Chain A
Amino acid sequence: MPELDMIVNNWPEPASLDLASGKYTKIWQGPQHPGVTGNMALEITLEGDVVQECRTHVGYLHRGFEKLMERRTFMQCFPIVCRICVPEPDYNEYLFAAAVEELAGIEVPDRGQWIRALTLEMIRIASLTMGLGGQAGAFGLGTIGQWTVAHRDLMLDLFEELTGARLYHMYILPGGVRQDLPEGFVEHLETVLNKFEILIQEIERVLFNNAVFKARAEGLGIIPSDWVEPYGITGTTARAAGVPLDIRKNNPYLIYDELDFEMITGSKSDAFERTMLRKEEVLLSINLIRQILQKMPRTGSVRTKLPNVLHWNVPAGETYVRAETGRGEMGYYMVSDGTEYPRRIHVRGASYTHALAVLEKLAVGQSIADIAGLMVSLQTCPPEIER
């Protein structure tokens, strides 16, 4: 095929910069970044203080989960999947459980599904709020980061009450959730939600009306909407570009089709808009939690009985399940060969494309001072790049 060869060979080589000319400086930003959970390095070539080339280097955080899971039985995989992502562990638990349930044909009781959705929305609030703090911190407004981390702790307290653990909950397991809501949990949750609403109001006043934040975030890192398809952009980053992509709405999982909500989209697609959208998402999640608490069945079991998990052969097959995290689409591709061990589990995180392809492209031409803010505005999360 001559046409194909032409296309393949015409792939533009990255412009090679003459480093010996003394015109450029090469520096490394990271691997530690305040505001980003995990380690990831940016190799930046500067001319003056303008970035000419940016290369993302990962490899500081690799824990080999995909390989580890191939050597464990399905039930032994369940406690380690939550460790893949630090800010939003529950999505990993849910997606692993959903994939196993689909392969094994397990039905989850209704109340179990509602409680799952409740936990997912709770951790989504915690993660998005911390992301807001990180965004403010990247532009030198550290106070907001302290507020949001303190409020995230309130949410972690609730998780401790619900699951016994603050970060890695190991709560959503194949077949349902581990146990029912404890007594008085709903009232505690309502108190914390009210505190979050007040926090969002304060953030609105202090961050979004702040001259410094406006001056630095507006117009920073604009992603045109036609980048969404070739770069595989998902989540708030895509919605800020005006592309209506929300898996909760498009491919409703759990009980999201019974909830009443509108997808939030933006149009300007800069760092300011993305942060604004994340703030709106927190309010949406609060609204969704209230709806869930209202519409949830009051009684019923929360988990089905699994077969003996020590000798559990999941039927052969393959599947892909996805969910909408705070950063974008997260999915699990699971292949089972009919034995006790999974043949392959591939974890697809939104940051994989955002931090490796989009950031390298967006950073060019920006000032070195804006790189941190740009990186946080793409919701970079190195733990899900390196599984």
Chain B
Amino acid sequence: MKTLIETLKTNSLITSVEAKREDLIFISCEPDHLIEILTDLRDWKNFRHLVMISAVDWIEQGQFQLTYLLYNYENHSDIGVKIRIPRENPEAQSIHHLWKTAHIYQRELHEMFGIVFPGSPRLEESMLLEGWDQIPPMRKEFDTKKYSEETFFPRPGRQTSDPKAHMKQTNYPDDAKMNDELKQLVRDNRKKNREVQDA
């Protein structure tokens, strides 16, 4: 692991190397060099298992951080490759040709963060947000509380909890309506009488 860190430090494309644990390193690079570094790690350094691709929203700095986590089958260690891309029109290189599972992660990132991966297959196919017209929901500025208050309303529900009345309402709606009107008429008459008496 130490030799690997030394080798990585000599690579001019890598901007920073940070050993997090004995078996976990995070490195950073420019977005343009992503594929070169991932290919190098996969083919020459034995990091052949793509564990996950994830995005972090750094809204204060106006950037998205993409993390590609790779796993080494031989010495059982991980390496995380981090790139920063701008939040405005975010676009990153697609790695669907390096791993067969990569396009699924990219699909999700496209849907949830709005990051574009040119050339990635089935990128526009949404997993869950069919007909979504808001900003991508995993971005920090998306206000879940405001969205739910605007979109969902409390259901009116049943007016009565009496089963007999409910059944009557559903099975004989005309009768129920007539009944209600009669009751209302009686109520109105009583009210009128009371007003007359009071006067």
Q: Identify the A interface with B (CB < 8 A).
A: 4, 7-9, 11, 13-14, 57-59, 62, 64, 66-68, 70-71, 102, 229-232, 245, 250-251, 317-320, 322, 329, 331, 333, 335, 343-344, 346, 348, 352-353, 356-357, 386
Contact = CB atoms under 8 A, between A and B. Distances in A.
Interface string B89-111: 00000101101110010000000
Contacts of A8: 94, 96-97, 119
B26 A318 contact: yes
A71 B144 contact: yes
B114 interface: no
B135 interface: no
Contact of B51 (A13, A250, A329): A329
A68 B78 CA distance: 27
Contact of A4 (B35, B54, B99): B35
B49 A58 contact: no
A278 B199 CA distance: 86
B54 A386 contact: no
Contact of A320 (B24, B35, B50, B140): B24
A8 B20 CA distance: 33
Contacts of B24: 319-320
A220 B78 CA distance: 33
B48 A67 contact: no
B128 A11 contact: no
B34 to A, nearest CB: 11
Nearest to A12: B121
Given A8-B119, A230-B99, A344-B54, 5 more contacts: A4-B35, A7-B97, A70-B140, A348-B51, A356-B101
Contacts of A343: 56-58
> Top 6 closest A-B pairs, CB basis?
A59-B128, A346-B54, A230-B100, A250-B76, A348-B52, A344-B56
B97 A11 contact: yes
B48 A333 contact: no
Nearest to B144: A67
Interface in B102-156: 104, 119, 121, 126-130, 137-138, 140, 144
Nearest to A6: B97
Interface in B1-59: 20-21, 23-24, 26, 35, 48-52, 54-58
A113 to B, nearest CB: 17
Interface string B59-91: 000000101010001001010100000000000
Interface residues of B, number: 41
Contacts of B48: 229
14 contacts: A9-B119, A11-B96, A13-B121, A59-B127, A59-B129, A62-B128, A66-B138, A102-B21, A230-B100, A231-B99, A232-B101, A319-B21, A344-B54, A344-B55
A331 B51 CA distance: 9
Contacts of B73: 229, 245
Given A62-B128, A67-B144, A333-B67, A346 B52 contact: yes
A251 B73 CA distance: 11
A67 B80 contact: no
Contacts of A352: 101, 104
A352 B127 CA distance: 12
Contacts of A317: 20
Contacts of A353: 101, 104
A11 B121 contact: yes
A333 B69 contact: yes
Contacts of B51: 232, 320, 322, 329, 331, 348
A231 B51 CA distance: 10
Contacts of A67: 137-138, 144
Contacts of A102: 21
A279 to B, nearest CB: 26
Contacts of A58: 127-128
B61 to A, nearest CB: 11
Contacts of A59: 126-130
A320 B78 contact: yes
Contacts of B35: 4
B49 A386 contact: no
B104 A356 contact: yes
B128 A357 contact: no
A80 to B, nearest CB: 14
Given A11-B96, A344-B56, A229 B104 contact: no
Contacts of B58: 343
Given A7-B97, A8-B97, A8-B119, A357 B56 contact: no
A64 B145 CA distance: 13
A331 B20 contact: no
B104 A344 contact: no
Contact of B56 (A62, A320, A335): A335
A251 B74 CA distance: 11
A357 B119 contact: no
A14 B35 CA distance: 24
